[in-house]
Structure 1
């Protein structure tokens, strides 16, 4: 029996277990199971691998996407460049980290944001998920600026997001957990009244399916997309990696 699973700090609202369990049933995969592994610290990964020798692959969720990097034997080129891992392949006792968030976001953005409409993007947040988004935007030649509560060089603060500035960026991507269940009334602090039908709002959050961020955008006429498409695509990419 091959074991797969998800590691993170709090996993009460996991998409992955339901998705993979249903996939195994639907496709008649009888030699695989998927479990949740809540770890109080990323460094517990080493003990988990010793405890569960049948593990063949893991997904990694917040807040450990960057913390696991030094614990792995090897990194895929893209994951090393991004500086975050959300998928680990375990083979013959060795671990290799990959980033399928990058694949999932890039593919779903291409479907949502037409080539002829592409301008500049604002990326809200600077964590592990943001790094995958930056890499995908670079691959698609979409210029972007990162937005942070504590901005570094070449990053914007939320206070700088004026109505005038928003006119120069027609794609806004939320990579933060703001608005995620159970805090569904929260939304990133933007001048939503400055949005228009020319804007595209993409939220990596998928629970709820329509966040307050997306509701505010839709009310202003903007096109909106949640993180479900990205989620399915990154999960399928993880499965391919585990079986390659």
Structure 2
């Protein structure tokens, strides 16, 4: 009997937290399964991945497909529906007259992973407003989590748009008002370790909290510059671990 397969879809997939996390989990807990990276250049290749891997039970979804995958799914969890982005897919198969059919359901565990890892750091009297850097799929889950934690959220993008600030809008007055800054963009990810979001770091204070969804390197330039100004800093490693554990619950329920 073929062992169960789980995996990750995205492009590119140079450094995968999920592959390492699940490989170690399967070995540690003696689980007869394997985790594969499926680097696909077009989201429509998802069908090939599903059909060519008959033992595939579940997928993680990363950049740039957290939103693009939505039209290919048969259903969404309430959280994924509300957020408008998916990072976990449950694959359910059925056989009828020798023909294989499958149902794909999308979930969002980025939300709970981020919320649980950020909440202990918040000081409600200080951390009332957050700047959210980036507007991709991950940022949607983060925005909902921040709002549910009681923070007013302001998104920041490289290009102007409705209800958006651009990086050139950020100044001392903005940073005085917004004490939480979350980087939900890939800026600063290995190997581009000398890059960081273009914010006025000189205006950061010990009252600021900087959270970077990037986990490789463990201390991005964004976090280092914040720490140098006395800010509280945290990377995305705990978020990833928490969302992965939630994904496993979904796949094996």
Q: Give the match's secondary structure for 2:91.
A: strand
Matched length:
243
The structural deviation recorded for 1:116 is: 4.4
Moved more, 139-148 or 113-122: 113-122
Q: How far, CA to CA, are the matches of 1:58 and 1:112 in structure 2?
A: 30
Q: Give the match's secondary structure for 1:156.
A: strand
The structural deviation recorded for 1:59 is: 0.3
The structural deviation recorded for 1:113 is: 2.1
Deviations 1:151-208 (Å, cap 9, x if unpaired)? 3211111111001211001100000111110110111111101000000000000000
Structure with bigger gyration radius: 2
Which residues in structure 2 correspond to 1:37-76 (within 5 Å)? 37-76=38-77
Return structure 1 stretches of 4+ with deviation > 4 angstroms: none
Asked if the contact 2:128/2:150 (under 8 Å) is kept, the reply is no
Q: How far, CA to CA, are the matches of 1:164 and 1:117 in structure 2?
A: 15
TM-score in terms of structure 1 length: 0.97
Q: How far, CA to CA, are the matches of 1:138 and 1:232 in structure 2?
A: 22
Q: What residue ranges of structure 1 are gaps of 5+ in the alignment?
A: none
**Aligned: 1:229 with 2:229:** no
RMSD over aligned Cα, in angstroms? 1.0
The structural deviation recorded for 1:114 is: 3.5
**Aligned: 1:22 with 2:35:** no
**Aligned: 1:185 with 2:194:** yes
For 1:33, the equivalent position in structure 2 comes to 34
Which residues in structure 2 correspond to 1:49-198 (within 5 Å)? 49-92=50-93, 93-198=102-207
Which residues in structure 2 correspond to 1:202-217 (within 5 Å)? 202-217=211-226
Asked if the contact 2:76/2:105 (under 8 Å) is kept, the reply is yes
Q: How far, CA to CA, are the matches of 1:113 and 1:205 in structure 2?
A: 19
